[in-house]
Every structure is written in C-alpha cells, then in structure tokens.
C-alpha cells in the first residue's frame, strides 16, 4: 500500500501544479481592472428620484442605468434604450430597449420597469420632470422591449430629460429604493441593472461595490470593484490622494488643486464648465429682496473681476449675472451690459429703498469649492456698498440635505454643470421651479423660458436666451460672479477616467488600474 501511494505522489503533485496553473490566469483576469477608491463627501439622500448632489448621483449611477446617457461633451447616446425615433410633430418618442438586461437580483429588465420609474417620478413630483415637459406626458409599453412617450406639446430638450441624473431605472414595484433592511440580504433594495453591485454600505464611512458579472454592455465594467470612501474635509481628501488611500477625488477648491499640480504620481484634472456659484437674495413678499433696488444694490456692490482674480487666479470666465454662461456658445450673449462695481451707487439705492444708511443680513454659505473664501471677500466688498453680513457656513450635505438653502434670506449656493441652459432656468428661476431658492416670479421670464423649451431652431433659441439674460441683468435676484472650471485629481495608475463636468456623472465603466 505504502509503495503504491508513494509511486503516485509525483503524479499527484503534477496534477496540483497543473490545476494551480489553470487557476492563476483566471484569478488574474478577474482582478486586472483592480478596485478603484474614490474619496468624496458622503451622500445624504439616496433616493434616485431626488438625490441630486454629486455624491448621490455618483452613488446611483454606479448601481443603476438610465435610458440614455449624456457624454462629457453634452452628446446624447443610447444606453438601456438602444434606439429611439421622434415623430414629425415632435410629440411622440418611441424607444427600443436593450435585450438580455438583468437586475442585480436576477429579474429581467423590461418596459414595465421603465413605466414604473417614470410614473414614480410623476407621483413624487421629482425635479427630473423639469426637462420632461413638467411631467405632462403619457407613457405606454406596446411590448416588453418598446416604450412610447406622448407629449402634449413639443419639447426640444426631452431627450436630455430622459438622460437626466434623476432618471435611474428602478425595478417595477420597488417601494424602498436604496434602503438598508435587516436580515441576511441587507442590500436587496439597492437593486439596479448597473455595472456594479453594492456589497457593503456604512453611512458616513464607505460604500463597497463589486463588478456586475452579468452587465449587459460587453467588456464592461473593466474594474473588479469600486469603493467610495466618505471624507468630508477637502484637505483630508487631498492628503488621502497623496498617500494612496484613494485614487480619485473631485470638486477641489482651487487652493487644493494648486497644491496637487506639481505632485509626483498625480494628474490634476481641469474642465471648463458651466459650474457657478449663485449669490441670491429672496425676492418674495416680506423679504428685503422683494425690492428690485435692493437686488440692484447687491450687484453694484459686487466686484466680480476681483473675485475671479483672488479666488480663481483669473481662470474663471465672467458672465452676465444669469445662469447662461460662455460655455453654452451660441446661447451666451457677450454684448449684454452688466453692472460695474459701484459701491457708492449701491449705498444710494439702499438709502432710497429703506430709508436707512446700511442694511444687515445673515449670509448662509455652503462649505464647498472655496465658497466660504468667496463669502469673506464679498463681505469686504459689500461693506463698502453699505451692506453688512454675518457669514454662516454650512456643511454641504446639511445645507442641501435639509433644504435650508431653499429657505434662508441671503445665501451662496453652488450650481454644478448642466448640459443645456434650459435645465437651470426650469429648475431654479421660473415661477414655482422646484429649486427656485430666490422665490422669484417674473411673468415675462416664465413666458420666454416656455417658448425656448418649444423652440428647436438654435438661432431663434439664442435670441430668446438673450432676452432672458437681459431680464436677469435688470431685475434678477442673483449674482453669478463667474463660471468656474471644475478640478479633480487622479493617481497616475488610473487609466481611462474622464471626469464629467458634473462630476457625479463620471462614468467608471471603462476605468482600470494599472502601471
């Protein structure tokens, strides 16, 4: 017996070695993409229909898909919808859906899931409806692979609405999307068709994902895994990148960006965008900003050129104190006359409007992208214009998470990039807009925005936007100091990462780690 076993040992060893050699390439293949570590602020509202900040959108883009995608250059491309047609009258959009798509729980994706998702958006009155004709559409499913949207009037931006950051497709019947539950399957409600599956989520700490082996797009994702590391402090994010604790960070204030420009092993990412800070004063009845003379005084007391030089080293682009920036090309009118810095005239308007020589207000500022520094410079400028402010800095996830930004009298809000100007106007400036933080109402503006939404000819649309910008210049409740580039940074071992102008839309499906 002993001799028999001994004689077989070399053969057994050979078989083991063969088996190991067979396994090694498979293991290598599974891990070639590596696990990307992303440092970012923690998301607060995880509901795909309403979580609108970069961390929330990035979280949901990881788990879910949309029918269409918007590329970093603003181009619309197919995703869960593989083709679409638009009727000659512009009222009917017919989409063909991808086949063989599975949710993470193994259920097959079909038109029923699209119907459920968009009906839910209507029921929740989601901000996504802004570009979706305000929710004035009917949706039908002739078969499992076809969806038809029928509008009541033409909408030049409906495709951008379908590709919106709040239109992630949920499984039909989902009642509690992205809610952790007790038991053996705590993440069963994080159930999308997306390129990654959630395996661990600790609020305020981290979220861990693995590649979806059944993803419907061939060869994607290239990463084996993805991990979001929640770091609230901007400098701490930079430190984590330098030490290799994370591979990618985004929405860097310029002082942190400059710190990384000469750092070995790290590439600074800079994109010209429509991102801008909005200084706004409430203009509804009962607030001092209801008087247009006060609104004009704030504009006269703000030196936008100085803000750009001090805070952005001149890298930003001055606009017209409205959300239509130079990056929108034809839709931006550089000929509009805007107010120059004139603090003496600001003082005169304040005295005329209030009978007082000075006014004093609390100034709420979001703690992101260096906006507290902007507030400090503004306080100095405004003091010359007879405006005194008490700066109250708020954490980003708190300020937006509890909607404080929508209620305060005077605030500084960060607005991320949008691919089209119509999205800003519908969301934040028409009467009743879901993010109308200044509570402004202007009938002429409302009419022009509605007409722009129906207008497909670019030249005609540009003229409408020129008229809209003029209304902002003379009556608007906001100051846009400049349109700033967005900064991110990535370690050099990361391949294929293209940061989106709205960083929450950054696509990780073709990213890899390598030397």
Q: How confident is the model at residue 368 (pLDDT cuts 50, 70, 90)?
A: confident
As a whole number of angstroms, the distance between CA 282 and CA 288 comes to 8
As a whole number of angstroms, the distance between CA 188 and CA 400 comes to 27
Average pLDDT over every residue of 344-364: 98
Of 413, 407, 406, 435, nearest in space to 423 by CA? 435
Q: Of 400 and 216, which is predicted with more confidence? A: 216
Q: Which two tokens stand for residue 120?
A: 């839910």
pTM over 0.85: no
Q: How many CB atoms lie within 10 A of CB 149?
A: 23
Q: What's the pLDDT score for residue 459?
A: 95
Mean pLDDT of the chain: 91
Q: What's the pLDDT score for residue 32?
A: 58
Peptide bond into 221 cis (omega under 30): yes
Are the C-beta atoms of residues 49 and 128 closer than 8 Å to each other? Answer: yes
List every span in the chain annotated with CATH 3.40.190.10. 35-41+194-272+486-513
List every span in the chain annotated with CATH 3.10.105.10. 276-479
Is it the case that residue 147 has pLDDT exceeding 60? Answer: yes
Q: Of 31 and 179, which is predicted with more confidence? A: 179
Q: Which long-range contacts (CB under 8 A, 24 or more apart) does 290-293 make?
A: 291/353, 292/475, 293/349, 293/350, 293/352, 293/353
Q: Does domain 35-41+194-272+486-513 have CATH number 3.40.50.261?
A: no
As a whole number of angstroms, the distance between CA 312 and CA 503 comes to 19
The highest-level CATH class for domain 276-479 is alpha beta
Average pLDDT over every residue of 404-419: 93
Average pLDDT over every residue of 368-392: 96
Q: What's the pLDDT score for residue 515?
A: 65
Q: How confident is the model at residue 2 (pLDDT cuts 50, 70, 90)?
A: very low
282-321 burial code (b ≥16 CB/10 A, e <16): bbeeebbbbbeebbbbbbbbbbbeebbeebbeebbbbbbb
**66-162 falls under which CATH superfamily?**
Dipeptide-binding Protein; Domain 1 (3.90.76.10)
As a whole number of angstroms, the distance between CA 243 and CA 261 comes to 15
**Any idea which residue has 């608007």 for tokens?**
476
């Amino acid at each position: 017996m002993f001799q028999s076993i001994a004689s077989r040992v070399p053969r057994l060893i050979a078989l083991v070695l063969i088996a190991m050699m067979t396994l090694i390439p498979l293991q290598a293949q599974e891990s070639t993409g590596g696990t990307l570590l992303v440092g970012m602020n923690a998301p607060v509202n995880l509901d795909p229909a309403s979580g609108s900040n970069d961390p929330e959108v990035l979280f949901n883009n990881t788990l879910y898909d949309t029918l269409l995608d918007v590329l970093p250059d603003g181009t619309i491309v197919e995703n869960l919808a593989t083709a679409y047609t638009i009727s000659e009258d512009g009222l009917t959009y017919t989409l063909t859906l991808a086949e063989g798509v599975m949710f993470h729980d193994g259920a097959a994706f079909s038109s029923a899931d699209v119907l459920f998702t968009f009906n839910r958006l209507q029921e929740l009155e989601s901000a996504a409806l802004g570009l979706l004709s305000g929710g004035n559409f009917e949706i039908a499913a002739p078969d499992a692979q076809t969806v038809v949207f029928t509008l009541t009037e033409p909408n030049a931006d409906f495709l951008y609405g379908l590709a919106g950051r709040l239109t992630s497709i949920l499984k039909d019947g989902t009642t509690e999307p992205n809610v952790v539950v007790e038991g053996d399957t705590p993440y069963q409600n994080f159930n999308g068709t997306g390129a990654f599956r959630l395996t661990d989520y600790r609020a305020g700490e981290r979220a861990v994902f693995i590649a979806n082996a059944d993803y419907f797009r061939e060869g994607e994702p290239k990463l084996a895994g993805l991990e979001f590391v929640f770091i609230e402090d901007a400098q701490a994010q930079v430190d984590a990148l330098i030490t290799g604790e994370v591979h990618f960070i985004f929405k860097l204030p310029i002082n942190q960006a400059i710190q990384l420009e000469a750092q070995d092993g790290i590439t600074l990412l800079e994109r010209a965008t429509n991102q801008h800070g909005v200084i706004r004063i409430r203009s509804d009845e009962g607030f001092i900003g209801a008087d247009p003379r006060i609104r004009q005084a704030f504009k006269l007391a703000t030196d936008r050129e100085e803000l750009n030089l001090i805070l952005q080293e001149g890298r930003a682009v001055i606009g017209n104190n409205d959300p239509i920036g130079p990056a929108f090309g034809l839709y931006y009118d550089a000929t509009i006359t805007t107010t120059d810095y004139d603090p003496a005239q600001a003082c005169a308007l304040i005295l005329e409007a209030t009978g007082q020589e000075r006014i004093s207000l609390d100034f709420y500022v979001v703690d992101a992208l260096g906006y507290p520094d902007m507030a400090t410079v503004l306080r100095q400028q405004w003091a010359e214009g007879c405006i005194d402010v008490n700066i109250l800095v708020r954490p980003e996830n708190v300020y937006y998470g509890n909607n404080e930004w929508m209620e305060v009298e005077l605030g500084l809000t960060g607005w991320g990039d949008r691919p089209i100007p119509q999205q800003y106007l519908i969301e934040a400036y028409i009467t009743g807009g879901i993010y109308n933080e200044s509570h402004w109402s202007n009938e002429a503006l409302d009419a022009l925005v509605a007409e722009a939404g129906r207008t497909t000819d670019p030249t005609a649309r540009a003229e409408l936007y020129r008229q809209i910008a003029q209304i902002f210049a003379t009556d608007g409740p906001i100051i846009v100091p400049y349109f700033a580039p967005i900064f991110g940074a990535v370690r050099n071992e990361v391949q294929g990462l293209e940061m989106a102008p709205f960083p929450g839309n950054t696509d990780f499906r073709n990213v890899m780690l390598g030397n």
